[in-house]
Structure 1
């Protein structure tokens, strides 16, 4: 009997047309056994009935298939083991393609600051928390456009080179007391307006925080999912003012620490 493990390593399904056909025939037999119509197998995999007959003779000789009479075949334990080994190889190859090949052909989206043509090299920058692409390779970070775009439109980019340089944002957190401790009434609206003027984004967490922002005539940019949103905004270079009810503040600071985002907690209470 042949050394099937060694044969599998040397002549895997992906390396041998013969083994690819044997693999398909074994699968068809396993699905149809014990009554196997060679013409149906041939039609299923796109070869002649004579070729199926020839391959069956070889599979029987290799102890992968047993013949029990006219038109009656069964895959042996050795045949099942060989199918499993080849299937594992295919599974590993598919994983390699999906993770190492396709995963590297990653397409991101940017805003085109100039007209961009598909296939053109673009320079990348980060502004207002959004990736920007400009035609040409003058920047320290470049990519290749996979779509056409007019200036101001969205453009798909891939094949990234270099690093997009920008400063991480910071977060200024204002703890708003719970309503039982005075809530928004303890907050100085003028102080909130001063703070908001120095930040790119305003986020609120909790009803007391929302009321404090409203009393200061401020319109929040973020009201829901604020912990993740604040962390993401800061990592994209935006300075964020966070108004959070005291009971919710720790969830936000935990998220910021995990994301290595710089933050400070300030007092905005009435004098």
Structure 2
């Protein structure tokens, strides 16, 4: 049992409130997953890439990071340290070199993209959100997850969202039965999962389909054919987000839409503090049906 939230803003006037609204939604889902939490925020796009990295020992892992990274890449970079995470701003063509640098320094890459930043850690959702200052973050859309671990250890790398492609990430409630077979298939395609979490397999699957030229809706439809088990997926991309449930749809899910936003929650109470929710169109996503919104 886990909790998922998502919020897609239709109007820019709400952008400064994105983090605040998502934080309230995430905290409401605490009893569905109290062991770890994470949020992906899609904010202003940078001219290059934003790479979010994590360190278990930020005092040493991030010490002198900007100078060392700049020297390694031979280009100006930016470093914004936020608790155990740091958002690195790097040239668009420097992703491979930056990943190699991060690995040598013992930093874990949470996600890469021009607009996406990912923050996730072990702990109660309210504590995780406070550590990273999520309430103060602005953006166009975001997704979040509260985890109750069942199939893998409670670790930072086991927390959601999982990002396996630029500006793309996924959160999941449920369990996949064919994830080991899919690991082999995806590894042969160059999308090898790095953890034992079955959710990362789903994220790699979406990335592989997008890399093959599918759009987000087509990639989500593919999960219904190729991934076995029970699941609700919420996927974020640079331009929007999408939702799909398995054909049985045994995991709870609800959506709300107004003129200002589209919201997703594992339960209706996640919407309690959203502005104008009393006038929203509220519905339960249909089984085996893809929903997605893009700018």
The TM tier, using the shorter chain, reads under 0.3
More strand by share: 2
Bigger RCO (CA 8 Å, 6+ sep): 2
| TM-score normalised by the chain length of structure 2 | 0.19
TM-score normalised by L of structure 1? 0.20
